[in-house]
Each structure stands twice: as C-alpha cells, then as structure tokens.
C-alpha cells in the first residue's frame, strides 16, 4: 500500500516528516481534537441556535419578544455592555433609539452561529451580542 508521500520528491518528503514529528505540531494537532464532552456541548449549543433561528424566522411574535429583551438590556446596561464588538457613534445611537432588528447569523470572527443586532438606516453592519447575553436570551425564548 503506497501513501501520497511515495509520490513526492525526497526533499519534500523529509520536510513533511520533520514537520509531523515535531512536538509543537503534535500539540497543535492534539488541541484541535475535541473530546466527547466538547462535542456534546457543541451539539447542544447548535441545536439551541437552530431552534431559536427557526422560531425567529417563522414567528414574528418571537422575534419581537427577543427584540424587546435586547432593548431592555440596552436600557438597563448600555449598548456597549451587550455588544461583542466596538460600536461606532451611529451604531450606538441606533441601538439606544431601538432602531434595529435581531437575527441569528454567523459571528464575524468565530464564524459560529450567534445572535446579532442589525441597526437600521445607513449602518448595515451586524453587531454580535456577547455569548452570556445570547445564552440568556435563547433560554428565555425557548421557555416561552
């Protein structure tokens, strides 16, 4: 049985073998591997997000409930407290005046599903909500 290494020139083969033998490469590979607990947590989170996404998209009342919960948090704690990204002055003003909508899309940095606030008007940038607030809102949404 031949491997892909057999078809490479010897100097390339040696580079690959050397890179794969290094302890640093082994540690990086080991960090990428997820255990059963991690996978179960990730599956539960994805299931919650999918359920919330479906309920928000299909039921406008649920979307309004979620928006009102976000508005309440903005009034109580401020826009910077719930946003997972720095806010411009226009974005902050739009959030404080309740001129926004909510959705579940991919996070700009992590590319995982996240609750985002979409300001209305000229500002068309998605502002991710902090993970702690997202979990809180989703728990409320699912309980209702």
Determine, yes or no, domain membership for 27: no
Determine, yes or no, domain membership for 54: yes
- One digit per residue, the tens of pLDDT, for the chain of length 144 reads 567 667 778 888 788 777 767 777 778 777 777 788 888 998 998 888 888 889 888 988 988 988 998 999 988 998 888 888 888 888 888 888 888 888 888 887 888 888 898 888 755 688 899 988 888 888 887 776
User: How is residue 108 written in tokens?
Assistant: 């700009």
Determine, yes or no, domain membership for 15: no
Half-sphere exposure at residue 7, Cβ-oriented, CA atoms within 13 angstroms: 4
For 137, other C-beta atoms within 10 Å of its C-beta total 21
Determine, yes or no, domain membership for 127: yes
Distances (CA, A) of 89 to 77, 117, 119, 123: 17, 15, 12, 11
Range of the domain at 74: 36-143
- Cα 41 to Cα 58: distance, rounded to the nearest angstrom: 26
User: How is residue 8 written in tokens?
Assistant: 């490479």
pTM of the model: 0.69
Count of domains for the chain: 1
């Amino acid at each position: 049985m031949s491997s892909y290494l057999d078809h490479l020139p010897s100097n390339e083969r040696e580079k690959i073998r050397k890179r794969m033998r290094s302890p640093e490469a082994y540690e990086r590979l080991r960090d990428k591997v997820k255990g059963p607990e991690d996978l179960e947590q990730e599956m539960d989170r994805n299931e919650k997000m999918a359920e919330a996404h479906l309920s928000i998209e299909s039921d406008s009342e649920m979307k309004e409930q979620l928006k009102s919960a976000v508005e309440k948090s903005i009034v109580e704690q401020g826009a910077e407290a719930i946003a997972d990204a720095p806010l411009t002055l226009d974005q902050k003003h739009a959030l404080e005046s309740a001129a926004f909508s909510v959705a579940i899309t991919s996070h700009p940095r992590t590319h995982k599903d996240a609750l985002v606030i979409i300001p209305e008007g000229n500002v068309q940038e998605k502002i991710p909500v902090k993970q702690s607030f997202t979990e809180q809102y989703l728990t409320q949404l699912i309980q209702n």
